Amino acid sequence: MGIGIDEDTGIIVQGDTFEVLGESYVVIYDGTRWSKERDTIYELPKGSREFYTLKSGDEYNLKTRSVITFEDKEFLSLSESELKKYCSDYKLVGANRISKMFIENGALQFKTNGQTFSLYPSQKLDFT
C-alpha cells in the first residue's frame, strides 16, 4: 500500500479511517480501483500499477483498504425540530451574497447563487 500526499493537502486519521483536507489530492495505491461515478471498487489484476486520487472530503478505510463510498457513510439522525435550529439565512464570509438553509418536501436544502442543493442527495429525510 502507498499513500502520496500533495502540497497544501493533508489527511486526518481517526481510528481506521482518514479524510482528505486541502487544496490538492492524496494518491492511493492499494491494488484496487475505485470508480466514483459508479461508486464501485474493482480489484486490479496482479502487478497492476494503477492508482487513484482522493480530493478534499473523500474518505478512506485503512483497515479494509477501500474508499468509503456514500453508501458506507454513517449520517447523523436529527429530528425536524433539531434541524430547524440550523435553518436560516447565512452571509458567506468575504462575499456579498446570502445563502439559505431550509427544509422543503422532507429534505434539508441549501440555496446559494440561485441554485438549490439537497444536503442529503440520495434520500429524503423521514420526520416521524
Cβ atoms of 2 and 29 closer than 8 Å: yes
Task: Write the pLDDT tens digit of every residue in 60-76.
Answer: 888 887 788 766 666 55
Question: Of the residues 72, 90, 105, which one is the last residue of a structural domain?
Answer: 72
pLDDT at 50: 75
Burial of 15 (C-beta count, 10 Å sphere; 0-12/13-18/19+): exposed
pLDDT at 9: 93
pLDDT at 71: 62
For residue 113, the enclosing domain spans 80-118
pLDDT at 74: 63
Same domain, 18 and 57: yes
111 domain residue, yes or no: yes
27 domain residue, yes or no: yes
124 domain residue, yes or no: no
How many structural domains does the chain have? 2
Same domain, 8 and 48: yes
Same domain, 8 and 40: yes
Low-confidence ranges of the chain (pLDDT < 50): 121-125, 127-128
Burial of 34 (C-beta count, 10 Å sphere; 0-12/13-18/19+): buried
